[in-house]
Structure 1
Amino acid sequence: MDFLEQVKWNSDGLAPAIAQDAETGRILMLAWMNREALALSAKEQRAVYWSRSRQALWRKGESSGHVQHIREIRLDCDADAIVLQVEQVGGIACHTGRESCFYQRLEGDRWVTVEAPRKDAREIYG
C-alpha cells in the first residue's frame, strides 16, 4: 500500500493520530498508529490504534462500545502526524467517560477539570 510508505514513522514505527469530531471539530483524543493500524483503519473505516502499553492493536470501542467511524483520514505537511475525522459513537471518546480526553485546562499554575464525565467509567467497563 503506497500510502503507508509516505508516512514518516518514528523510530518505534509509530505516528501520532489525533481523533477529531467530524461535525464539531473538537479534538477527542490522541493515540498512536503503526502501519497495520493505519491500513486497517483505512480498510475498515473504523479507528484502529496501536496500544503502546499493551503492545497490541486496539480497535477503539472494542470494550466500551464507543467506536469511532472514520469519515476522513488526513496526513500533515511533514507526513508524520495523522488526523482522523470521526463520528464518535455514544459521544464518549475518553476512558474516563468524557466526550474528550482533553478535559483539563491550565489555570494559573494548576490543571483544573472543566468537563464532567457523561457516564461513570465503572458503568462502561464494569
Structure 2
Amino acid sequence: MVDALRAGLKGATVRVLWPDDWAQALPLVVARRVAGAAVDPVGLDAAVIDVQCAAPGRRDASTLARTARAVLLNACRSQFAGADGYLSHGEDVAGPFEIRTGNPTPGPDFFRFQATYRVTARPL
C-alpha cells in the first residue's frame, strides 16, 4: 500500500509514522494500518488503513487527500504488485475530512485531512 502511494503521489513524502521533522516533509502522507485481520491462513489480509494528508495550505491538503484516495483505490482496482504481494480490493470507510485538533497542532500554515479505507492484500 505504501509503495502504491509513493508511486502515485510524486512530490509528496509518504511515511507510516509522523516524522519528527514533519514541517520539512510537507506535503506529507502518513498511511498506517489501524485494524483488520487475516481473512485466511494463506495470507489474504483485510486491513483498515488510516491515511492522513498534510500540507501548508487547506486547499493543497484537501487536494492531496482526494488524490491519495484515487491513487489507493486505483491501485487496488489494478491489483498493484509490491515486493510482498498485491492489492486486490479497496473501499472507503470514512473521509477524507479535515482534522483541526491533535498533534501536530493545526495552524495557519498546517492543514491535515484524514480518511479511512479497507484494503485487501494477497501474497504473491
The TM-score normalised by the length of structure 2 is 0.32
Larger helix percent: 2
Larger strand percent: 2
Q: Which has the larger radius of gyration?
A: 1
The TM-score normalised by the length of structure 1 is 0.32
Larger RCO, structures 1/2 (Cα 8 Å, 6+ apart): 2
